[in-house]
């Protein structure tokens, strides 16, 4: 199967991998060598991460060069175009990211698990359903269903993990 | 092998209890559901169940995980046939002939054939597991640090190449990223904390399960939610129970696909998807009805479904004998075995011989369960496909969050899951495969420890890496894999082969995903 070229994305990613590889190699070089303990120099902790850093740097450089050869610096579809991120996909991805990160980083651990889960599931279902069904005027029904689902999920997940499998919840 | 047979029968009779059989049924059914739903993969299913079962006795937990694994790889065929969307990446080849059959009003027949193929594939893989695992474990007793280093390196290279067959460079980058992730935290020789920067939570490194749940669960949720709506088809036309004569007619395809699937499973980090693609490509090359492939060929569907399910026991073989996973879900299975105090590796046939045969019995029970559940619940299972994704995905994310938290009860692991989920999403969007990344995370400590040990033993000389017989073979295989992936070299080699081989068998050299 032919590879679908995405030179701009590859150029960015290649630069990132090159930088990551270089940083890893440099940090590995700075790791202790325990010379005062007369440790065998081939057993030092920085050896393998350093080599991995160098390989990553080289692979990143190859990716960058290939991207440039494939036209990363010439005018073209742009990064979003290459990855197929049209306005609708961008909006959906951002909404999903906002909701999930809000739950996992913002709510969990700060609110009781069941409350946090209820709020998250309700917001997720409601916002995505409303986005789809707004034109059909199903708003109230959708909100009620979203609330019911959120309540059931919050209670059921709590029950299954805590009572059936004795697993601690956040 | 009377000893082996006796151990197998003992294991089987040990499982013949109502509670155990009930576990087989619910775990396989859950696996089928997980496989069916786009956005839920076998890896995520096994990872979430690992967190749910880690307080159970080891045997029960591993049985449940194997049932989930076998069930999910099979379950993915349903959405492949009915929606043209592979439920798991392993079922991508199934869409090629499954969906055209469904469109022609033969969805029921296609699902029956997929069930028969999956069952046969699991059985062939299981037989290979019985035959190969003891031999491989015995052989692996001769492995030293040099060989384990090359095995890890070969795993990264071959997994990177075969899971990104159209762009191996990205596969290798994913593999080395995985190795880098594994370098974070305390190393095994001097107990030095690498890349931790005084952060206590990083001193033990990233947990494999939070990383996996992020890369396979959260990343998939973002990908599914990104897409605009897809049409759901609820159509189970045609006879569901497969005709034995039809299956018997394609016995050669089944056996060939079973072998190819198992072999692909055996290769580190390659797994079920390539098992299906490899079997499909081979079946098309050997078929007398080649023109039907891609248009609703029963043979093509059988090959793909036999190949991916045969890869499941295939991927378990290196888990048991080398402690190296054959696929991403097998990596979770390996982690689960460690959590439960089972130490897979070359010594397994000496330390826990009965466990290997218990695993064989588990695969048999899971295979029987997919046959029974798959044929009996065809129509009720269709309702699952009608659940809108905006209702399903938040529930999956809640499970991902709880799953990441559960093993160590640390909120830090939830953040790790989220971080690797976003990273995994970005990498997937740019066509980087996830399997080599996971393999890298698993193989990192093996590669690190064995390379440094080997260098200490040889006092810095690289010679033994290339002169010890097994080491030399593994080094050569790694080199050939790298050279074969370089486009110009591959074209030149194929041209040479065509010139000296009379042009035979070269045309199929480019088989792989999409072929």
Contacts of B415 by beta carbon, 8 Å cutoff, 6+ apart: A104, A105
Residue A2's pLDDT band (cuts 50, 70, 90): low
Over the Cα atoms of chain A, what is R_g?
A: 25
Interface of B with A in 41-80 (CB under 8 A): 51-55
Q: Give the chain A residue whose CA is nearest to the CA of B168.
A: A3
**Residue B107: alpha-carbon gap to chain centroid:** 26
- The answer on pLDDT for A134 being more than 70 is no
Q: What is the pLDDT of residues B457-469, one digit of tens each?
A: 999 999 999 999 9
Number of helices and strands (H, E) in chain A?
6, 0
pLDDT 10s digits, B293-328: 999 999 999 999 999 999 999 999 999 999 999 999
Average pLDDT, chain B: 88
Lowest average pLDDT, out of A29-43, A50-64, B67-81, goes to A29-43
* pLDDT score at A138: 62
pLDDT bin (cut points 50, 70, 90) of residue B403 is: confident
- pLDDT interval class at B235 (50, 70, 90): low
Q: So what's the pLDDT on residue B382?
A: 79
Residue B232: its pLDDT value, please? Answer: 53
Calculate how close chain A gets to B105, using CA atoms only, in Å: 30
Q: How many CB atoms lie within 10 A of CB B354?
A: 13
What residues of B are in contact with residue A43 (Cβ under 8 Å)? Answer: 189-190, 452-453, 455-456
pLDDT of residue B510: 35
B222 vs A96, A104, A170: nearest CB: A96
Count of C-beta atoms within a 10 Å radius of residue B330: 33
Q: Identify the pLDDT of residue B224.
A: 87
| pLDDT at residue A101 is higher than 60 | yes
Is the distance from CB of B299 to CB of B101 less than 8 angstroms? no
Q: Per-residue pLDDT averaged across B406-424, rounded?
A: 92
Chain B residue numbers touching A89 (CB-CB < 8 A): 226-228
Q: Which residues pair with B69 in a beta bridge?
A: none
State the nearest Cα–Cα gap between B405 and chain A, in angstroms.
7
Predicted local distance difference test score (pLDDT) of residue B515: 31
Tell me whether residues A89 and B228 touch, CB distance under 8 A. Answer: yes
Contact B209, B329 (CB under 8 A): no
A87 vs B312, more confident: B312
Q: How confident is the model at residue B505 (pLDDT cuts 50, 70, 90)?
A: very low
What are residue A111's phi and psi, to 5 degrees?
A: -110, 160
Q: Is B301 in the A-facing interface, judged by CB distances under 8 Å?
A: no
Q: Look at residue B507 in the predicted model and tell me its pLDDT.
A: 35
- The arithmetic mean of pLDDT across residues B125-145, rounded, is 93
Burial of B424 (0-12, 13-18, 19+ CB in 10 A): buried
At residue B1, does pLDDT exceed 50? Answer: no
pLDDT at B508: 35
SS3 B16: coil
Q: Do B401 and A63 touch (CB under 8 A)?
A: no
For chain B, give the percent of residues with pLDDT over 90: 60
Tell me the range of B409-413, B422-426, B433-437 where mean pLDDT is highest.
B422-426
Can you tell me the distance from the alpha carbon of B285 to that of B280, in angstroms, rounded to the nearest whole number? 9
User: Which of B170 and A71 is assigned the larger pLDDT?
Assistant: B170
**ipTM summary value:** 0.92
What pLDDT score was predicted for residue A46? Answer: 95
CB B220 within 8 A of CB B420: no
pLDDT digits (tens, 9 = 90+) for B349-371: 888 889 999 999 999 999 999 99
Q: What is the dihedral of CA A55, A61, A63, A67, to 10 degrees?
A: 180
> Picking from A10-19, B17-26, B58-67, B84-93, which range would have the lowest pLDDT averaged per residue?
B84-93
How high is the pLDDT of residue B209?
87
Which residue has 């191996």 as its token pair?
Answer: B168
pLDDT band at B214 (very low <50, low <70, confident <90, very high): very high
Query: Which residues of chain B neighbour A60 with C-beta distances below 8 Å?
Result: 173
Gap from A105 CA to chain B (nearest CA, Å): 7
Neighbour tally for B60: CB within 10 Å? 16
What backbone torsions phi and psi does residue A156 show, to the nearest 5 degrees? Answer: -70, -45
Task: Compute the distance between CA of residue B446 and CA of residue B145 in angstroms, rounded to an integer.
Answer: 9
pLDDT at A160 over 90: no
pLDDT of the residue at B377: 86
Rounded distance, CA A112 to CA B163, Å?
42
| Residue B2 reports pLDDT greater than 60 | no
Contacts of B228 in chain A (CB under 8 A): 88-89, 92
């Amino acid at each position: 199967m032919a590879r679908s070229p995405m030179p701009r994305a590859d150029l960015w990613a290649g630069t990132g991998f090159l930088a990551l590889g270089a940083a890893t190699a440099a940090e590995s070089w700075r790791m202790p060598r325990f010379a005062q303990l007369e440790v065998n120099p081939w057993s030092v902790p920085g050896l393998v991460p350093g080599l991995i850093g160098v390989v990553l740097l080289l692979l990143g450089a190859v990716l960058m060069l290939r991207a440039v050869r494939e036209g990363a610096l010439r005018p073209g579809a742009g990064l979003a175009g290459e990855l197929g991120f049209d306005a609708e996909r961008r909006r959906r991805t951002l909404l999903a990211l906002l909701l999930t990160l809000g739950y996992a980083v913002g709510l969990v651990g700060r609110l009781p698990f069941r409350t946090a889960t209820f709020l998250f599931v309700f917001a997720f279902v409601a916002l995505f359903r409303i986005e789809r069904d707004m034109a059909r005027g199903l708003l109230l029904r959708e909100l009620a269903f979203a609330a019911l689902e959120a309540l059931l999920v919050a209670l059921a997940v709590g029950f299954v993990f805590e009572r059936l499998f004795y697993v601690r919840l956040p | 092998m009377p000893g082996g047979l006796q151990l197998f029968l003992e294991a089987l009779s040990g499982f013949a209890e109502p509670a155990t059989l009930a576990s087989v049924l619910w775990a396989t059914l859950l696996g089928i559901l997980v496989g069916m739903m786009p956005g839920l993969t076998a890896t995520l299913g096994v990872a979430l169940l690992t967190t749910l079962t880690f307080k159970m006795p080891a045997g029960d937990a591993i049985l449940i995980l194997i049932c989930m694994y076998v069930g999910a790889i099979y379950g993915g065929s349903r959405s492949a046939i009915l929606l043209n969307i592979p439920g798991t990446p392993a079922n991508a080849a199934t869409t090629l002939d499954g969906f055209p059959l469904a469109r022609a009003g033969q969805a029921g027949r296609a699902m029956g054939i997929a069930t028969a193929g999956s069952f046969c594939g699991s059985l062939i893989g299981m037989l290979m597991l019985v035959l190969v695992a003891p031999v491989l474990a015995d052989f692996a007793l001769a492995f030293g640090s040099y060989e384990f280093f090359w095995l890890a390196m070969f795993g990264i290279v071959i997994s990177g190449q075969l899971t990104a067959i159209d762009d191996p460079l990205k596969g290798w980058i994913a593999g080395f990223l995985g190795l880098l992730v594994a370098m974070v935290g305390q190393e095994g020789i001097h107990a030095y904390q690498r890349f931790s920067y005084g952060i206590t939570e990083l001193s033990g490194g990233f947990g494999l399960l939070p990383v996996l749940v992020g890369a396979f669960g959260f990343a998939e949720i973002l990908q599914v939610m990104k897409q605009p709506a897809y049409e759901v088809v609820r159509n189970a036309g045609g006879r569901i129970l497969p005709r034995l004569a039809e299956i018997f007619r394609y016995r050669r395809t089944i056996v060939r696909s079973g072998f190819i699937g198992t072999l692909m499973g055996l290769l580190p980090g390659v797994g079920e998807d390539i098992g299906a693609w490899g079997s499909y490509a081979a079946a098309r090359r050997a078929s007398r009805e080649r023109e039907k492939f891609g248009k609703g060929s029963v043979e093509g569907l059988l090959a793909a479904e036999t190949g991916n399910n045969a890869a499941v026991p295939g991927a378990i073989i290196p888990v048991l004998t080398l402690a190296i996973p054959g696929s991403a879900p097998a990596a979770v299975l390996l982690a689960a075995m460690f959590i439960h105090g089972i130490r897979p590796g070359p010594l397994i046939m000496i330390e826990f011989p009965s466990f290997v045969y218990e695993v064989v019995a588990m695969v048999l029970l899971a295979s029987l369960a997919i046959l029974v559940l798959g044929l009996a619940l065809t129509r009720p299972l269709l309702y699952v496909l009608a659940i809108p994704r905006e209702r399903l995905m938040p529930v999956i994310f809640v499970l991902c969050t709880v799953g990441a938290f559960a093993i160590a009860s640390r909120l830090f692991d939830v953040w790790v899951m989220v971080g690797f989920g976003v990273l995994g999403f970005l990498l997937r969007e740019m066509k980087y495969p996830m399997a080599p990344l996971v393999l890298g995370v698993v193989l990192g400590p093996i590669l690190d420890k064995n390379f440094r040990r080997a260098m200490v033993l040889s006092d810095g000389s690289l010679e033994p890496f290339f002169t010890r017989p097994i080491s030399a073979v593994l080094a050569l295989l790694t080199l050939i894999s790298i050279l074969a992936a370089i486009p110009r070299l591959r074209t030149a080699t194929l041209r040479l082969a065509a010139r000296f081989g009379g042009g035979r068998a070269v045309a199929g050299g480019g088989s792989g995903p999409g072929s």
